[in-house]
Chains A and B, each alone.
Chain A
Amino acid sequence: MSGTFEPILLARVGKPDSATLASYQADGGYSALKKALELPPEEVIEIVRLSGLRGRGGAGFPCGMKWSFLPKNQTGPVYLCVNGDESEPGTFNNRILLEEDPHQVLEGIIIASYATRATTAYFYLRYEYGRSYRTLEKAIAELYAAGLLGKNILGKDYSLDIHLHRGAGAYICGEETGLIESLEGKRAWPRIKPPFPAIEGAFRRPTVINNVETLACVTQILNRGAEWFHTIGVPKDPNNQRDFGSYGPKLYCVSGHVNKPGLFELPLGVTARNLIDNYAGGVWHGRKVKAIIPGGLSMGFMTEKELDTPLDFAGPGKVGCLGLGTAAVIVIDDQTSMVDVLYNACRFFAHESCGQCTPCREGTAWSAKILERIRAGHGKSSDIDLLLEIAASIGTIPGTTICGLADGAAWPIKTALTKFRAEFEDYIASGRKSEAALVASH
């Protein structure tokens, strides 16, 4: 079942001059903003709430609900922070949106700021996205010149400034409160919550933080209506009060061992098998899938047998993964050693742990060292249970850390060692060394 879904978020990607204001407006751009500015802010929040939009950055929190947490009738500034720190391995949808269609995102930022009564928006962009930075700089300048940003937008009684703020290469800045600390000029140590950012966020003021793709969805929801968004995807499970459903189109990134890695916009709930076979051109060199990661490195692994799991917000969790995450699918073929793959994952989290919480700082570092030892041919049979013990002890789920980075470090370990345990046991018993290139890390 290939391609009957007409892309919405990616509709303009690849068009000539797609990043310019003129071409965006020629395609009807900024009509969603006009519509929004005619409504009271509460009504904009209500439209987004009714659409069922959940955050696209990884946690999947309902967007309208997040906005409604801001204190009512309070005085003083409210901030909107755009989370453009996209750093989850496997994920590149924000970069493509920003490089190819920045105005779709900027329109969403203005609408979200209006809805939340923010008059300043900080766009936190990872430093590595130089092309996105330069594209956004230009696009923002066009908006000021056209009266779509700054004082009295479109002649209305609403003013907004958007400031670009570049990061400096740290994964932890994608965590909401790590981002805020970094924005404030400090080391990006996530804050203890509560208070949540809606109550006390950037500069100790009420703050909403939204992902780039989420904000692009906001533009389309205002364009096409909450009902349109709500008819796409997977409805909520009526028997599960805690399920918020999986509505709308989603940008699925597919990378790794497929013939055509790429970004595919599909209704939430597509299966990994459908994505790989019908969109990403199948596994390369005629090989088979050994494992996939359903939503960025921190979600853990699915086996070939689990490929028919729908990739909606609830799906990956049913096969032991942490969740849908960023919907970035990384495909691993049957010629690849899971020992090498898990080492790569553990090394990533050891490198990116901010060091604030001891269980995460030590747990991620030691899990990487243990896997380094296994790869060097010196593994012990007890190492598997030791790794599982580390994975069970770090993160917000066992309650030992401030943020979820350590949960993301734990899930690849748990899922690799339970689903591929025999491979690890054989590897350790054989005492062999990894053939993959070993490069000294610093």
Chain B
Amino acid sequence: MSELSDASREKIIAYCDKYPNKQAVTLPALHIVQHERRCVSAKAMEEIAEILDLAPSQIHDTASFYGFFRDENRPLGKKRVWVCRSLPCMLRGGEKLLAELAEKWNLHPGETTADGEVTLEIAECLGACDGAPCILIEDELHERVSADDVDKLARGDA
């Protein structure tokens, strides 16, 4: 059975026209797959490699460089929450926020809550230092937040 859905395959193939070679589609393909499956498994990497005429090791080499992509042993929860710990956020409570969320959700950064709802991640500068401390939920920015705010945003309607 194919790991990639037909929709993902089509999206990956559609990217190929934008670049002079198919290897450049590696990052878009990894994003497409992780967005759909919450991880990029070894099987998915093989299938991406086949579409892009590459060796699976080339996909793995790139995917493993960016801490962003998760393999099948560490899939993401439904929502991925990134908490900035870089200096401008640290000066305004970013590290405290990270520690409070880890306690609230009973996990270490990098882990997912037992119910599979939320993954907590450490982020370096999110580029919203005027709104420190700031976080991302998936790729949506929230500024000047407390641990309670983040808990509500990430788990409120979940």
Interface residues of A (CB under 8 A from B): 77, 86-92, 94-95, 126-131, 133, 161, 163, 165-171, 182-188, 203, 253-257, 261-263, 293, 297, 328, 330, 332, 336, 340-341, 344-345, 348, 351-352, 354, 436-437, 439-442
Contacts and interface: CB of A to CB of B under 8 A. Distances in A.
B129 A328 contact: yes
A344 B26 CA distance: 32
Contact of A131 (B65, B68, B122, B141): B141
Interface of B: 18-21, 23-28, 30-31, 52, 58, 61-62, 65-69, 82, 85-88, 90-92, 95-96, 98-99, 102, 108-110, 122-132, 136, 138-141
Contact of B87 (A188, A262, A345): A345
A133 B87 contact: no
A168 B31 CA distance: 8
B62 A90 contact: no
A163 B85 CA distance: 31
Contacts of A94: 127
Contacts of A126: 127
A440 B109 contact: yes
Given A87-B125, A182-B27, A348-B124, 8 more contacts: A90-B87, A90-B125, A165-B27, A187-B65, A203-B20, A255-B88, A256-B88, A439-B85
A89 B87 contact: yes
A168 B68 contact: yes
Which of A126, A186, A188 has most B Cβ within 10 Å? Answer: A186
Given A89-B87, A89-B124, A128-B123, A261 B129 contact: yes
A129 B98 CA distance: 20
Contacts of B18: 161, 163
B86 A89 contact: yes
Count chain B CB atoms within 10 A of each CB in A95, A130, A185, A261 and give the residue with the most.
A185
Given A130-B139, A185-B24, A332 B125 contact: no
Nearest to B134: A92
A252 B8 CA distance: 41
Nearest to B20: A203
B130 A297 contact: no
A440 B27 contact: no
A58 to B, nearest CB: 14
Given A167-B27, A439-B99, A77 B20 contact: yes
A209 to B, nearest CB: 16
B68 A257 contact: no
A437 B139 contact: no
A345 B91 CA distance: 12
A86 B124 contact: no
A352 B125 CA distance: 11
Nearest to A91: B127
A345 B122 CA distance: 15
Contact of A133 (B65, B68, B91, B139): B139
A352 B129 contact: no
A256 B91 CA distance: 6
B130 A165 contact: no
A257 B136 CA distance: 22
B88 A170 contact: no
Given A91-B129, A170-B66, A341 B139 contact: no
A89 B65 contact: no
B86 to A, nearest CB: 4
Nearest to A436: B95
30 contacts: A87-B125, A89-B88, A91-B125, A92-B130, A128-B127, A129-B127, A131-B140, A161-B18, A163-B18, A166-B31, A168-B27, A169-B66, A183-B24, A184-B21, A185-B62, A186-B61, A203-B24, A255-B88, A256-B129, A261-B130, A261-B132, A262-B130, A297-B125, A348-B125, A354-B65, A437-B98, A437-B99, A439-B95, A439-B109, A440-B109
